[in-house]
Every structure is written in C-alpha cells, then in structure tokens.
Amino acid sequence: MKEQVDFICNNGSAIINTIKLKKLSLFATLLFGFFAFASAQTKELEKLMSQLPDVQFKKIELPTNFECAYEIKIKQPLNHSDTLAGFFYQKVFLSHKGFKRPMVMVTEGYNRKKNTICELSELLNANQISIEHRYFGESLPDSLNYDYLNLKQASADLHHINQLFQKIYSKKWISTGISKGGTTTIFYRYFYPNDVDLSVPYVAPINNAYEDQRIYAFLDTIGSAECREKLKAVQIRLLENREEILRRLVLNNKESDASYTYLTIEEAFEYAVLEFPFSFWQYGHSCNAIPNAKDSLEALVIYFERVSSITFFSDEIIELYGPHYYQSATEMGYYGYQTKGFEKLLAAIPTTSNPHATFLPNKMKAPFSGDLLRNINSWLQTEDNAFIYIYGSIDTWSATAVPPIKKDHSIWFFMEGKHHGNARINHMTEVEKIKLITTIEQWLSLKINDNLPANK
C-alpha cells in the first residue's frame, strides 16, 4: 500500500497535467466547433443575402454576443408606386444572432451613423436590423425632391426591407424605435399591420394637428406652480437683458462655427428662449437648479445654453433636421411657441400668432394636410394590433402620446419621473419589467431566459 501511495504522490503532477491537457483539448475542440459553426452561419447568411435583389453588403465590426454584422445598401424606389421616378440606396445595419432567433427591426427617424444594439434586441437575444430613414444621412436620392418624403413612402421602404429579409429570418419580427423613430414604427404598422408581430415605440408622439395644442396644456400644468414660475422668470430675465445676454452668447459660440443666416442670431435667441420650458421638461432638468434673480447673468447664460442652446437654431442644425421639419410641416404636425406674456419683450419674431417650430429647407412653402393624422388617430383607437407604448411621465412629448384605452393587445407604460432620454426598459421598476416581459412572452409565444435588465 505504501508503494502505491508513493506512486500517486510522486506522479500527481503528471496526472494533473494529463487531466488539464484533456480539458484543454476538449475546450479547444468545443471552441473550434463553435467557430466552425459560426463560420458556417456567416457563409450561409452571406450566400442568402447575395441572392437578394439590389442588395449590397460589407462586413463591419462585430457587436458583443453577435456572430456577424454588416452594413447594407438596399436599392429603393423614390416612389414605390412608380419606379420611373428613380431610385436611391438606403443604409441598413444587420447584426446576426442566429437564424432561429427573433428579428428586431429598428425604425430610425433620422440618420444612423453606426451600428448600435438596442436594449430590446439584447433582452430578446434577437437579431437586429436598423434602418436609416429616407432623406437622412447617406440614404439620399441624387435630387432632393421632397414630394417623395412622406410617411407612406417611408413605410413602403420598411415594408420592402421586411419582405426581403423575411426570406432569411422566418421567426417572430418586432419593430421598435425611439422618438421620431418610434413614431415611424407606429405609422409603419398603420400602413403594413401584418409585417411584424409586435411594435414597441418609445417616447413616440402622434400629433393631432399642424400645431398640437396639447403641448401648451402640458407646459401649463407639469411640475409645481413654483417650478413653472421659476422657468418663466428665467425667460423674462433673459429677454429683459437681451443685449448683454446676446453679447455673452456670441462670445460663447465663437468657436462653435455656427452660422445664422436662415434665422438671425436675434431670432435664434428668441426662439431658444421660447423653447426653454419645452426642452427643460423634455430632458428632465431639476427645478432646484434653475437660476434665480440673485445669480449672475454669466451663470444664467451658462445654464440657458445647457438647457436650450441657440445653436439648435443655427444654419447647420436647421439644415441637418430639414427633412424632419418638412415632414412635420406637411403631414406629421408639430408644435409652436406661445408668445402670450412676452409680447413686449420679443423684438425679432412675430407675436400676432404662435410661431411654428418647423424650419423648412430653403424656406420653401409646403401645404399641410391633416388627413393622415386624422386617419391614424382613429385607427389607433379602434384597431387592436400588438403595441407596447413606453413614455416618460415628465417628457414634453408625452403630451402627444397615443392616448391609453383598454385593448386586449396593447399596453402603456408612463414611467414615473422619466423623460425623453431615460424612459427605457432598463430604467423600469421591477413591477413594470415583469409586466413587460410577461406580455412579450405571451404575445410572441417565446421564453425570455435572460435576467431582467438591471435598474440604473
């Protein structure tokens, strides 16, 4: 027995090393198998995409926990009813998880510079396709004929992409978007109700008029009366000290390369002052931080620029958001600025009516039609498609949220104390998360195995 023990002791390291080698060998085999499987999936995906008509793709940096990712250009008609109007290429990002996983379709409202994975894709362990909106970013026709920038054509773009990639991904499809992207999700479902199984718009306004009056009612009632009075006092103090404030704003913006020809800097200043309460509530600023009469003008300017910068009304930003303003002014509706109470303090912009918050490209004239808004607002109250609406209770855009009604296949979250930038699943209470996840599991007949997103 002694000899056997000695043998084991003397040769223990060799035995352990042998075991380690076997484990390493098994790990290497499994790792090789995984990469071989991943490589096979990538090859299969690229083969399938190469068979799609008018689709160009290139591999891009791989997001965490995905198998491959691509930047894709898809040929789209300017007018889906008449291809003689011409074509453009729409930019899309695809992140592949697996052919047997769901697909999250991110409907952008603007441009999409890089591939970013949304929280819903992570929660569902899903594939993701993120689609830049027509007339934004790189998704531009050679000639910007704005007649084709409308929600019917934009929704047809999404439908075309959906139909192409349904040939590759046959499991559940979910559409989602944030802000104008969320609005795009809602309109897309209106035009093509059967393309996806579930829609999850975040902080998505659906207006009811060219100048939606609900914004004003919201700003007149949100928060405490004391907080609203403090906001108005800031506006009045800014306007009463306009020459000194403007001098400081010009000095502060010298290095920004912002130019002011579409609006004069005086007009930009006044618009920014009127925008101030809208922006304050939209992004949930603290009432306790609002400057008072004892604070210096320098401190006032610094705070004002942080909440409602005049650069938002510069040529560069107006040009960047030109297509958005066009859509808002022609069929989506928007908001205006109440001038009541400021008539004697405003010198650059008219006070006979509320100036509208849209700035059309090249100051073009474009008529507004409310037909689509009337139709979709009626449809949202009568049709029972699967929607999960997520809003923040203090977000200004919640004023024009889709109104909650009792439906079997729609639920609403108005997240307490949350604003436009943080009304998200990973900021929900545990009760809200459980309700959301249970609903998704029931409606999509799938099990969400991952842990609930952590509170942040």
pTM confidence score: 0.90
pLDDT digits (tens, 9 = 90+) for 399-433: 999 999 988 889 999 999 999 999 999 999 999 99
DSSP, residue by residue, 182-231? HHHHHHHHHH-TTS-SEEEEES----SSSB-THHHHHHHHSS-HHHHHHH
Helix axes 297-307, 242-252, angle to 10 degrees: 60
In order along its 456 residues, the chain shows pLDDT tens digits of 433 333 323 344 443 344 344 444 544 444 444 445 558 889 999 999 999 999 999 999 999 999 999 999 999 999 999 999 999 999 999 999 999 999 999 999 999 999 999 999 999 999 999 999 999 999 999 988 999 999 999 999 999 999 999 999 999 999 999 999 999 999 999 999 999 999 999 999 999 999 999 999 999 999 999 999 999 999 999 999 999 999 999 888 777 789 999 999 999 999 999 999 999 999 999 999 999 999 999 999 999 999 999 999 999 999 999 999 999 999 999 999 999 999 999 999 999 999 999 999 999 999 999 999 999 999 999 988 999 999 999 999 999 999 999 888 899 999 999 999 999 999 999 999 999 999 999 999 999 974 444 443
- Any idea how long the chain is? 456
Count the neighbouring beta carbons within 10 Å of the beta carbon of residue 203.
29
Single-letter amino acid, residue 244:
E
Token pair recorded at residue 397:
């855009």
> What's the CATH superfamily of 54-209+371-444?
Alpha/Beta hydrolase fold, catalytic domain (3.40.50.1820)
Name residues whose C-beta falls within 8 Å of residue 421's C-beta, 6 or more positions apart in sequence: 283, 284
